[in-house]
Copies of this chain bind each other. A is one copy, B any other.
Amino acid sequence: MRTAVDGRLPAEVARLLKGFLEAGGKRLRPLLCVIGWHAGGGHGDVDPVLKVAASLELFHAFCLIHDDVMDNSLTRRGRPTVHRALAEQRASDLSRADAERFGTSGAILVGDLALSWSDELVHTAGLTAAQSARVLPLIHEMRTEVMYGQYLDIAATGSPTDDLDRALAIVRYKTAKYTVERPLHIGAALAGADDPLCAALSDFALPIGEAFQLRDDLLGVYGDPAMTGKPCTDDLRDGKHTAVIAIALRHADRDQRQSLTSLIGDADLDEDGVERIRGILSDTGARHAVEQMIRTRCERADRALAQAPLPPAARQALRTLARAATGRTS
């Protein structure tokens, strides 16, 4: 992490970002990048690979910081989100509205810097010309995909429907490709992997990534805030268009649909309301259906993994990660 360019420039920006990165997170993307490199038969200097892997974590920090602004989330990784922390800093010398605005603006900028610095980290990673030529287009794709996925997500938020395809498109772009497929591809590309290997990695990555996000959606309804580090009902309050909600709306009777429509997206949703939603998601079979979808996708990923032409250690690492990511409670 670089510090301020000049003594007069605010060092607190770099400090904030450092704090955010050190607060935890699963480090899934860097891990998958390194595994992708092994999967592609990577050997020799690992330093550039680690730098690209780290750049994915920095890019992810950018995504989360902006995501938290968009969702107006209060906590992340068990701490106040960046925009909340900044607003707090100014709570004593600005009006509440101005402090909130400073928090939002500051977090947008801290995110922008994280994106810029992730880029700088790739450019200064010491890649060969051949590696750059293979990897940069994948990084561009990854960025565009996740931002489009995020756009689909916010466009659907506030008015969830029974459109399951749309919910699954969000899952695919925002998570499956971004969190799993592209990091593996990027690592494999650094090792000079060929197209068939990348396709085999996709066959594993997309179903497991979807399973990962579907699990996340369920945790957003049933999760324990002490484990996930974020209030479990943010998604419900925001009216996120998720698969479990789409399925519930499809199978709900009139009363249930009316309850869901009025409760989901209600900024003042209380614990009773959450319990009512949980009941309907169970009664309509939506929770069960999503658990089933997770299981199907895990099995598909397992089969793909068994057939992929991978070194045994890479296969084992992916299998372990897959289990951890989709059976998790946080």
Contact = CB atoms under 8 A, between A and B. Distances in A.
A120 B140 contact: yes
A140 B155 contact: no
Size class of A's contact patch? Answer: 35 or more
A158 B102 contact: yes
Interface stretch (A37-45, A108-116, A205-213, A250-258): A108-116
Contacts of A105: 69-70, 154
B140 A108 contact: no
Number of copies of this protein chain within its complex: 2
Contacts of A72: 101
Interface in A127-149: 129, 136, 140-141, 143-145, 147-148
Contact of A119 (B5, B62, B119, B152): B119
A116 B102 contact: no
Contacts of A119: 119, 140
A106 interface: yes
A148 B10 contact: yes
Contact of A70 (B104, B113, B173): B104
Contacts of A169: 8
B66 A112 contact: yes
B94 A116 contact: no
Nearest to A9: B148
B154 A66 contact: no
A309 B104 CA distance: 45
B102 A154 contact: yes
Contacts of A157: 102
A136 B10 CA distance: 23
Contacts of A10: 148, 151-152, 155
Contact of A4 (B101, B102, B148): B148
A26 interface: no
A145 B66 contact: no
A82 to B, nearest CB: 12
A93 interface: yes
27 contacts: A2-B144, A4-B148, A5-B141, A5-B144, A5-B148, A8-B169, A9-B148, A9-B151, A9-B173, A10-B151, A10-B152, A13-B151, A66-B109, A70-B101, A70-B105, A70-B109, A102-B155, A106-B151, A109-B150, A112-B112, A112-B147, A113-B144, A113-B147, A115-B116, A123-B136, A123-B140, A129-B129
Given A5-B141, A10-B155, 12 more contacts: A8-B169, A9-B152, A62-B112, A69-B108, A70-B108, A98-B158, A102-B155, A109-B147, A112-B112, A112-B115, A116-B147, A120-B140
